[in-house]
Structure 1
Amino acid sequence: MSEPIRVLHVDNDPEFADLTAEFLRRENEAFSVVTVREPEAARATLAGEPIDCVVSDYELTPVDGIEFLEAVREDHPDLPFILFTGRGSEEVASEAISAGATDYLQKETGTSQYAVLANRIENAVTRHQARRRSQRKLRRERERFSALFEEFPEPTFAYEYVDNEPIIREVNDAFEETFGYDAERAVGTSVDDLVVPPDQMTEAKEIDERVRAGESVDRVVLRQTADGQRYFSLRNIPLSLEEGIDGFAVFTDIHERKRREQDLERKNEQLEQFVSIVSHDLRNPLNVASSRLTLARDDCDSEHLEYVASAHDRIGTIIEDTLTLARQGDSVDEMGVVDLPTVARRWWESVQTADADLAIATELTIRADADRLRHVIENLYRNAVEHGSTSRQPLADDAVEHGSTSPRSHAPEDAVEHGPTSPGSQAPQDAVEHDGESVTITVGTVEGGEGNGDSEGGGDGDAPAGFFVADDGAGFPADRDDLFEPGVSTEPDGTGFGLAIVRDLAEAHGWDVTATESETGGARVEITGVNVVE
């Protein structure tokens, strides 16, 4: 059964009023009709009973139907009101609609008019009830939003545009705390006058234009607080929940982050200047000195010239390592597929390794920036060759000598390669020889998660986690905390840049680097977190 519809019918003709009530009930059983003859009695009924719709004649006493409508509107601005009258004219109809009548219907002869009236009443009540439900829902949403607005952790204010000027209408607690302006100071004030620094006004006007055009804004801005200027991330929400509010501005305080970014930019600029100096202002004099040394060798034969040549080589190495550190530290955006065994062998040939041996104990294919990976591998080779101990550790059962491998190394039988012995190699023979034996450097797979460094095969898991470069020398010192810091070297003539370069380039890939001990007690550097191609 439908919800009852209570109708108040006001008509000074009791017979017509009774007839109207009867026909309305016949048209719709949900109608419950209350009939009165005078406007005062009708107002008393409205004050004491729930009424869904008023149906009124025009010709009433002591006031007419329009005056009665105006009186009803004072207390019930939205109540459906239908003027149902025998005095029909365009003038009356216009006056009724202007006064707030919901509908206007002229009385006619016959019973069909009651069907029309019943339909008008039902439609008016349906629309009114739907509107009230919508208003209740909106009111609840406003209440929830108001609570959210107050509790929202980011500084926020509601704004309205008045003559193209953004005016603050509400502020939350976070705004008061962060900007230092209380609601009494802020509400009713122009946004631009309150929080926009004078030198940022052009940008603020551009934001205003975009917001008025309905665009969403998300940008970093400099704004004035009671304690000074700060950087914020500004987002606008073009949402109007009630009259007088066009949207909301949400601020996120990023001042400290912005300061760090600016400091980093300044440091990067200084670094670029430094790179320029190293690349040009140092290389050029070094090239001149090297050329002069060549001429000096032609003119005389002195043992001192070899020391000069060695110093030149050391300076050149320091320059190259410094440039690598400065230029290669950025994050890697694009990576290709790299076959690790292939490139490990190829890059071995470009390093001065003298009598050192290379053992390939991996078949990994990984994703990496090949150029930066080459710097990683070559620096690990040099570190193993140049920092090998003069008391070489014995190999466990000659596991990696000339291709023989431990069960977990998975090295091919021809995995061991010897360093180049061409006359062009300037490396002293004793740099890689240890009591008559050469150092062996192994490139292998780190298995299972992080890799524990217990053996040349890696951890206990099944999936490869990365790769390692290990040697059978004396190993790293017990205190390894600062091994990867620039300038730290275990050799008197070492630059201390090799492992720092390895760390920076690995971290640029998102990899982890660990210094540990190899199976033979030598040095082992593990690089994990690598994207392995199955």
Structure 2
Amino acid sequence: MHTSPTVLYVGANAQSVAESWRESGEGLVVESATPPVDVDATLADGRFDAVVCDSDDSFDGPGVVEAVREYSASLPVIVLAGGDSFPLATATELGVETYLQADADADRVATLERLRPAIERRREQRRESTMLDSLLENVPLSIYIKDRQSRHVRLSDGALGLNGPPYLESPDGKRHHSPEDIVGKTDFDLYPPTLSEGAVADDRHVVETGESIEDRIERAYGDDLEETYVTTAKAPWRDEHGNVLGVVGVTRDVTDRKKYEKQLERQNERLERFASVISHDLRNPLEVALGRLEFARADGDEAHFDAVERSLYRIDDLVEDVLTLAREGETVSDPEPTDLAPVARDAWKVVETVDASLDIQTDATLLADGGRLQQLLENVFRNSIEHGGPDVAVTVGDLGVRQGFFVADDGPGVPEGDRDSVFDPGYSTSEDGTGLGLSIVRTIAEAHGWEVDVTEGDAGGARFEFGEVGDDALDRDGD
């Protein structure tokens, strides 16, 4: 809804000017204030778009403008100066936007009419400015405007602490607590060179080509933000003539979206694994059982029934492992501090270890689902005993710098050419295994966000490494 700008007219003849305007003028609402007047209180009582100070020697014109400036630094002020009542230098110091010399007999209504377009235009500019201010102060996004040299001109409060602490810390340790601290700085003043180079290159592309950049997904910068992601969009900042003055950018946190995408990827991978097991690994023993039943009906040989029984047990094992894959594959959303050593001992007790030995060389505490961690260790232990023999020696220890733990044995190990395949569903070198044990291990590791690899241990056997557990997730010596 369009309304006319409201002007506060201050002067000795303000009331008569306002009445004359109401009779013959249009496009402005003029309210009068005759000195001496409390300008600050008058402004606070109404919503004014400009102040006209009709200054003469009968009152303190500069004092009126000073009162306006105490109320608002941005409210437009127009001075009609009679004689030497209001020097131009003083008007400039007080931020007067329009300064006109006006004799006592000048037509004030005609003067207001000439000023009306400028007052209307300035009101729209102030409204746009306040809308931008409200946006930058309240929207929980990182919004920023840069000039052609990639120096920050304006930015939102949400740019600080978008996905971390309520400040931005530069590589040299300096903390920026407000948008004003960042104005005039480039990305090189705020972020590591590897991040700044890409950001400034994007700025140059937008400025030089006038083309926008949309949905550039990046890792967030800052301590403890390694798994935090943001998406950035940049567009040209243009003036009224279409000239590119710089860049307008928006960055938002998309960590939840990325986590959801990764979860969907893992779920799709598990579905593919299930499909492989059902279509191949379950079908083989089922076909054997059906074929043997047909033979048994023909000749009654008990050996056929033994084969059927073995096939059914194998189907049962496969079904159990597939269900385990389904259960353990859900993302661990509420991990708790878990001592690795006692979980490893509990897992060892569940496994048929015969004469095998377990050496625990860690006192680490990690954030994990204790039940799933035990399931992971059980499967790795079974694999070591299955391939290393009944007297295999198994060791659990820390990875060190990589942040994680390992399970190693002194068995024959995994051939280098097979190390990329051992976690695939159905991979097994044993006739009795389902081939899903290590697939379950990988699934549990991925559900925690860990990486899993197999390599050669110090004793020449297999060494399963669970890395990238994270600085906060793996805590040694109880720290």
> Which TM-score bucket, shorter chain as reference?
0.3 to 0.5
TM-score by length of 2: 0.44
Considering only CA atoms, is the larger Rg found in Structure 1 or Structure 2? 1
TM-score by length of 1: 0.40
